[in-house]
Structure 1
Amino acid sequence: MKTSHRALGAALTVLVMAALTSCGSSSGSEPAAGGTTTLTFLVDNSQATVDTAKALTDAFMQANPTIKIETETRPGGSEGDNIIKTRLSTGDMSDVFWYNSGSLLQALNPAQTLVDLTGDPVLQNVQKDFLPVVTQAGKVYGVPGGTAMGGGILYNRKVYDKLGLKVPTTWAEFMANNDKIKAAGITPLISTFKDTWTSQLFVLGDFYNVQAAVPSFAQDYTANKAKFAATPAAQAGFDHLAEVHAKGYLNEGFGSATADQGMKMLIEGKGAHYPMLSAQLPPLVATMPQAATDVGFFGIPGTDPAKNGATLWEPAGLYIPKTTEKLEAAKKFLAFVASPPAADAVSKVVQPAGPYRIQGAKLPDDAIQVAKDLQAYVDKGATAPALEFVSPVKGPSLEQITVAVGSGLTPPAEGAAQYDKDVEKQAKQLGLAGW
């Protein structure tokens, strides 16, 4: 993985990537005889995105027979980023496109390239706390595609039931649970450092607690006024990595274990906790049905039970380029995407890994437990977006640093300082003020 935060998304893409061919044409189509308008829609080629896009377009076209949508695919990762930027700069972008929300949006220069949706009825069903991740300089540019996912602790509910444990709301309670699990002869905490990206969850998944303790951290971090190593709440993620290793809570062979092996271990109850993303679960339900019910989710606990919450990785956004000649039809499609019927259509095809960011959208009754647990955090307003959604400052070496800290090779304070140093080059490349 080239960049620490993007590595999480890239690793998920590996889970769902399929060899796909373009499903349509990139060229615009003028309204055909009979009053039909054709929209082009560009999406990444991960299977989950392709399936979601098909569910959305099929349902929309059924409800709007005079609008046809042709979908095409692009690669993920940096290659896909470059395609998006090139097509926007050359005026060759599709009428609607699917792309990351959060800090990566600013690289698209949205004020010049995208249609401003601020105050538009298109947004009437979008949850207010999603809007910041599709906003630049006070202007809103997108609607949510798909569902959010959680980054925190996946846990085996049967182990918890067997040992009479309660979901912890503080780090101290979490460590006490680990002690009881270890005493029962079960691995308390699964680590899978062969897939180095998985080592980052204790740091990245802890951002809800960082924001709760230091509300200005993301803004100050972006401006080079705050550091992980100089902010106890931010360094806590590194401290957690070191502590669970020092206490002997990790599985044997954690350095050579893979994410797939870790998930299997968790689902089978051979390990009780796995710091991980909720999106790891849905692809496994087909082969291990108990994954839907036996695995739950809780946010990485902080120090104050009254401020307990969870970190979310927000869904991607759907955007309209200024070059479209079919703005009315494109807005109609986005308004549908951001509606409860669209969520229902997607749920029938793609197992939600978390909550929809649409007012009135409900998870299906057969949603996996992890998604229901995440929905509960959203319902009580106890979520924060991961740092990558609110700051463009990232370093490429976080996963190597967290492997070293989580393996007992680097002290946590030193690891935090190393990461502070690691982000400098990219921040300067971005031309951010203060660097």
Structure 2
Amino acid sequence: MKTSHRTLGTALAVLATAALTSCGSGSQSAADGSVTLSFLVDNSQATLDTAKALADSFMRANPTIKIDTETRPGGSEGDNIVKTRLSTGDMSDVFWYNSGSLLQALNPAQTMVDLTGDPVLAGVQKDFLPVVTQGGKVYGVPASTAMGGGILYNRRVYDKLGLQVPKTWAEFMANNDKVKAAGITPVISTFKDTWTSQLFVLGDYYNVQAAVPAFARDYTANKVKFATTPAARAGFDHLAEVHAKGLLNEGFGTATADQGMKMLIEGKGAHYPMLSAQLPPLVATMPQAATDVGFFGVPGSDPARNGATIWEPAALYVPKTTENLDAAKKFLAFVASPAAADAVSKAVQPAGPYRIQGAKLPDDAIQVAKDLQAYIDKGATAPALEFVSPVKGPSLEQITVAVGSGLTAPAEGAAQYDKDVEKQAKQLGLAGW
């Protein structure tokens, strides 16, 4: 995991690793009119389970179309495989890949089928479309659910102490004081897994956008910086403040994400800045995780503009090299339907809302997914910065560990990250750098 935003965007892909499924033999059409689609996905357990549910349900409804699933590694190795196969014309009929700024690196105008205006998109929520759009053209449909990046909290602790979900940072800190007075760890940090240190910064982007609506555009153009934009620097300030006030768990520097989640679920800690996707895999062994843990966005300064940052799901795309375009489009249209969402919900506990019109969370959805749905329903969400700007640097997680450990001042940490992104921005050839 080499880049900060990439790490958070792919946190789902490291929740678990599964054995490779059988590789497909490529697209083919039989004399009887049947078609075999090859389908490339990453090998995280959540992706494998979701892909299997989608393929199986689709094949039951479309017996003349078979789907052979292939797998690839996650992370940068998987990125390189996708890029290579697209550039050499060896890509599967349908493939699963990130939405957002990472899509730009795949040169979709040259490599992917343009779905703009196609009926395939009829079921896709309109506010998802920008993260699968390049140059005004739409290329994908949502492959799974959105996830929240913010504060996971123990609802039983809140009930016991009579606390309300905070809508401002001041209210959040007041809650932390009451939690600490009760002998419970207020804020869980797990810096052994360095990627987990980034949530106070990356999960705060909703508040950045609310305060500075043009931040992503101007940041991409090198016109604004984290260190000189108070709303953007606030995430670094938050990291420093919870450490300075002694709100963290003992041994936070060597604690792991798994230990942090266990601590939260058991009520030994009240808050954990984290992605909602961490919850579903734990429900089987700790069923109380489904109901005892809730979610709220990182609070900002204005209670009237309270909201949450979300990580949009990956998407399914079709390469221009497919020989089975009609069948591939039929599969994508199914994936972007409530029937597909229902099939996935039976196999994988949703970590957040679907981005499909008419798709509903199951009645037994985990509480964090329901909480995130409420933010989406009231229009109080913003995509994480990685979905609206390609500018990111490789060292954010090391910088946030240092700031969150009291080793680096927040202003200095923000300035370090501004410097960190320069090389990558120049490599992309972005104007203004």
Partner of 2:2: 2
RMSD between superposed Cα atoms in Å:
0.9
Which residue is 1:99 aligned to?
97
1:330-352 CA distance string (max 9 Å, x none): 11110000000000000000010
Matched, 1:18 2:18: yes
Residue 10 (structure 1) shift: 4.3
TM-superposed deviation, 1:8: 2.1
Residue 312 of structure 2 corresponds to which residue in structure 1? 314
Aligned counterparts, 1:226-375, within 5 A: 226-375=224-373
Residues of 2 paired with 1:267 and 1:23: CA distance?
38
Deviations 1:122-159 (A, max 9, x none): 11111111111100011110000011110000000000
Alignment of 1:102-113 (within 5 A): 102-113=100-111
Aligned counterparts, 1:18-417, within 5 A: 18-25=18-25, 27-29=26-28, 31-417=29-415
Q: Distance in 2 between matches of 1:36 and 1:172?
A: 61
Distance 1:86 1:193 in 2: 34
Q: After superposition, give the CA deviation of every residue in 1:62-97 in whole Å (9 maximum; x if it has no partner).
A: 111121111111111111111111111111111111
Check the 8 A contact 2:226/2:418 in 1, yes or no.
Answer: yes
Whole-angstrom distance in 2 between the partners of 1:41 and 1:218? 33
Aligned partner of residue 37 in structure 2, secondary structure: strand
**CA deviations over 1:342-373 (Å, ceiling 9, x no partner):** 00000000010010000100011111100110
Per the alignment, in what secondary structure is the counterpart of residue 324 of structure 1?
Answer: coil
Percent identical pairs in the alignment equals 88
C-alpha distance in structure 1 between counterparts of 2:363 and 2:23, whole Å: 32
Q: Partners in 1 of 2:328 and 2:402 — Cα distance?
A: 48
1:158 partner amino acid: R
| CA apart distance, 1:7 | 1.7
Deviations 1:364-417 (A, max 9, x none): 111110011001111111111101111111111101110111111111111100
Secondary structure, aligned partner of 1:16:
coil
Structure 2 CA distance, aligned partners of 1:411 and 1:348?
Answer: 47
Please say if residues 276 and 351 of structure 2, whose CA atoms lie closer than 8 Å, have aligned partners that are also in contact.
yes
* Structure-2 separation of matches of 1:16 and 1:314: 20
> Structure 2: 5+ residue runs without aligned partners?
none
Distance in structure 1 (CA, Å) of the matches to 2:327 and 2:261: 43
Number of residues paired by the alignment?
A: 433
**CA shift for structure 1 position 11:** 4.1
**Distance (Å, rounded) in 1 between the aligned partners of 2:267 and 2:18:** 30
Do 2:27 and 2:35's aligned partners in 1 also have CA atoms closer than 8 Å?
no
Instruction: Mark the runs of 5 or more structure 1 residues left unpaired by the alignment.
Output: none
Paired residue type of 2:396: L
Alignment partners' CA distance in 1, 2:398 and 2:63:
52
SS in 1 for 2:8: helix
Residues 23-77 of structure 1 show CA distances to partners (whole Å, capped at 9, x for unaligned) of 422x221x21221111111111111111111110111111111211111111111
Q: Normalising by the residue count of structure 2, what TM-score does the alignment of the two structures yield?
A: 0.99
C-alpha separation in 2, matches of 1:105 and 1:261:
33
